[in-house]
C-alpha cells in the first residue's frame, strides 16, 4: 500500500510534442502529490504539485491531471523541448506523527528529440 507505480520507464518524444507520464497509488491516506525533475548528477527539483481536492493544475507547459477515484495522476508536458530531457519522478506524501513522508515512483527518463 506504500507503493507508487510510475510508467513508462523511458519515453522519447519529438520536439513540440506532448509528453505524458503516469502514476498510480493505492494508499488513500496520501494527501500531496509532487512531481520532481532531475538532471544527471543533480538532485531532484520540485516541478509542480497537486492536492487531491483538485483535478487539474497547470503551470506553464506543465499540467498535472488527478483522478482521485482511480487513484491515478499524470504529468503532461506540452510543446516538449530538448531542455525538458531529464528523469521525472512522481511522489505521494502523507503525514505520520507530524512528519511528511514521501514515497517515490521509479522514475521516467524522458528524451526530447530535436
Partner 1 sequence: DGGITQSPKYLFRKEGQNVTLSCEQNLNHDAMYWYRQDPGQGLRLIYYSQIVNDFQKGDIAEGYSVSREKKESFPLTVTSAQKNPTAFYLCASKRTVNQPQHFGDGTRLSIL
Binding site for partner 1 (CB under 8 A): 4, 6, 9, 32, 34, 36, 41-46, 49, 89, 91, 95, 98-107
3-state secondary structure of 84: helix
Q: How far is the CB of 95 from partner 1 (least distance, A)?
A: 6
Pick the closer one to partner 1 by CB: 107 or 112: 107
Q: How far is the CB of 44 from partner 1 (least distance, A)?
A: 5
b/e sequence 34-66, b meaning 16+ C-beta within 10 Å = bbbbbeeeeebeebbebebeeeebeeeebbbbb
Pick the closer one to partner 1 by CB: 29 or 46: 46
CA 6 to chain centre: 8
Amino acid at each position: 500500500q506504500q507503493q507508487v507505480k510510475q510508467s513508462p520507464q523511458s519515453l522519447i518524444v519529438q520536439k513540440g510534442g506532448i509528453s505524458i507520464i503516469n502514476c498510480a497509488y493505492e494508499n488513500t491516506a496520501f494527501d500531496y502529490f509532487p512531481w520532481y525533475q532531475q538532471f544527471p548528477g543533480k538532485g531532484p527539483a520540485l516541478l509542480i504539485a497537486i492536492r487531491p481536492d483538485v483535478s487539474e493544475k497547470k503551470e506553464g507547459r506543465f499540467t498535472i491531471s488527478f483522478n482521485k477515484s482511480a487513484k491515478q495522476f499524470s504529468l503532461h508536458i506540452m510543446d516538449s523541448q530538448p531542455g525538458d530531457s531529464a528523469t521525472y519522478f512522481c511522489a505521494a506524501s502523507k503525514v505520520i506523527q507530524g512528519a511528511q513522508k514521501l514515497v517515490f515512483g521509479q522514475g521516467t527518463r524522458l528524451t526530447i528529440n530535436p
